[in-house]
Homo-oligomer: A and B are copies of this chain.
Amino acid sequence: MCRGRAKSATGCRCARQVRGFIQPRLLLLLAKQAAHGYELMEALRALEGEEHLADPGMLYRTLRQFEAAGLVSSTWDEAGRGPARRVYRLTEAGRDYLAWWSTDIRQTRARLDRFLVEYELVQANGLAVHPKSSRR
Contacts and interface: CB of A to CB of B under 8 A. Distances in A.
Interface of A: 1, 3-4, 14-21, 23-25, 28, 31-34, 47-48, 65-66, 69, 71, 95, 97-98, 100, 102, 104-106, 108-109, 111-116, 118-119, 122, 127-128, 131-132
A116 B132 contact: no
Q: How many copies does the complex hold?
A: 2
Main secondary structure of the interface of A (DSSP, over half): helix
B3 A100 contact: yes
A108 B31 contact: no
Contacts of A127: 95
Contact of A19 (B16, B100, B106): B16
Nearest to A96: B3
